[in-house]
Structure 1
């Protein structure tokens, strides 16, 4: 929910330190739809306009933000450079890029990679075919884990206690009328995903959009992210998900193996806790 501007008192703001506030401003600065006005950033963060302006001024001095037309602000060159350097230094991203390109080529759908941050899936990399339709997700975009294919894929392979911590949040957000928010219904979705090795987002995150995703694990068997594809429901219909699901699962397994994971043989299902079939 968007927070109101300037409704937070100075005493309330003191509860958060300067670094906390700066991180909130930075996160709002890079949200889709930018460049963003100062007032818009204030609404999203709940901070006062003077506080937001002070942080933006400092970020501009250090190259993390830069002014744009109409009094707006966008990510600065130093921030973009650091983000690019971090992604290029990531072994997972290095392995994932060609896998995503191959998956996009073979399916004709946008392919992407996301990681988990607390209760959200954060998209880091994307390979998109040349077509008129463009998905709303972009690198840096985040979606609640329970409301998207990559999030469900990660939840299906997490230890049960971690999954329950996510499902136990009061009033899970329903991004579309089709999105399940009842914990029992979500557990059934996750059980199916664990059984077949991939999760299906059936218009949970965006109307008329379906996605298929599978978890990526490392050498310790821990979930590090998920690979998925997404498309309009009339091109990625339920029958297609049964064809593309194993392809996405195989792509995720390829990256997992490169990261040192000992993935089970085809058709094998882990019996302890929630597992995945390769």
Structure 2
């Protein structure tokens, strides 16, 4: 009997078109820990090894992937060039870069900018000080919206209907023992973040790491991202959060103002919260 390459049947794979499969392979290729073995990419995507190999070979021919020793692959120079060009022309990042540098200088912590991709927050850029302690936040790092400061910040600034729709799609799995997987607790955290203008990640995504983040909005009031700082818990302690939180909030509002957003009122409470206390 021939052993199956992976748990997904060929019939199931055929449901997806070639472009869909190529996008899945590309997404797996750029995950942290590069270079990635063929079997690892196949496992991550659920595609068969021959399918993955075919797409990687085509990507390598066009410079989007690069083969390394041992049958592994990493992002190619053309892909890196396209990513750099796209990020360079981003208006949000253009405005965020000086804000990140300012936060880094005044707090001594990693400062970073993230955007939302469906149910995840994706780190786009960071301004990191030279220090002994390193954390997982870096460009390309992904974390569920409910399990990181930038994700909570973006969720807290969404209109109620949109936020509820996103929350209904999230699979609240624990990333650490402290991840808020209870829907009631999560909604409480979002209400608190909306009222004070910034969210706090208290070891939700990575043990011994705390972050503070605030949402960035555009002229239409749409949430286009978030900026924040992160550090190990014994340097970014609760007292520091109370000092740095307003600084992060002010930086995010400066970026938002550059995009044409109106300055929000401090202490604005969500409509449903007002009704509860009326």
1:140 matches 2:162: no
CA contact (8 A) 1:208 1:232 kept: yes
CA pair 15-163 structure 1, distance change in 2 beyond 3 A = same
CA distance in 1 between counterparts of 2:273 and 2:76 reads 42
Map 1:68-83 → 2, pairs under 5 A? 68-83=68-83
Runs of 5+ consecutive residues of structure 1 not aligned to the other structure: none
CA distance in 1 between counterparts of 2:203 and 2:270 reads 30
Deviation at 1:274, TM superposition (A): 8.3
**Structure 1 range deviating more: 159-168 or 6-15:** 159-168
Show structure 1 runs of 4+ deviating over 3 A.
270-275
CA pair 169-85 structure 1, distance change in 2 beyond 3 A = same
| TM-score, scaled relative to structure 1 | 0.94
Map 1:190-201 → 2, pairs under 5 A? 190-201=190-201
Q: Secondary structure at the match of 2:164?
A: helix
Deviation at 1:85, TM superposition (A): 0.5
Deviation at 1:171, TM superposition (A): 4.1
Instruction: Kindly provide the CA deviation profile for residues 142-198 of structure 1, in whole angstroms up to 9, marking residues without a partner as x.
Output: 111000000000000001122112222364111011111111110000010001000
CA distance in 1 between counterparts of 2:105 and 2:12 reads 51
Aligned to 2:268: 269
CA distance in 2 between counterparts of 1:12 and 1:126 reads 39
Instruction: Kindly provide the CA deviation profile for residues 76-113 of structure 1, in whole angstroms up to 9, marking residues without a partner as x.
Output: 01100000000111111111111101101100000000
Deviation at 1:264, TM superposition (A): 2.4
Q: Secondary structure at the match of 2:155?
A: helix
Aligned to 1:93: 93
CA contact (8 A) 2:29 2:36 kept: yes
Aligned to 1:102: 102
CA distance in 1 between counterparts of 2:64 and 2:159 reads 37
Runs of 5+ consecutive residues of structure 2 not aligned to the other structure: none
Deviation at 1:38, TM superposition (A): 0.5
Map 1:24-35 → 2, pairs under 5 A? 24-35=24-35
CA pair 5-40 structure 1, distance change in 2 beyond 3 A = farther
CA pair 65-273 structure 1, distance change in 2 beyond 3 A = farther
Q: Secondary structure at the match of 2:111?
A: strand
RMSD: 1.6
CA pair 270-256 structure 1, distance change in 2 beyond 3 A = farther
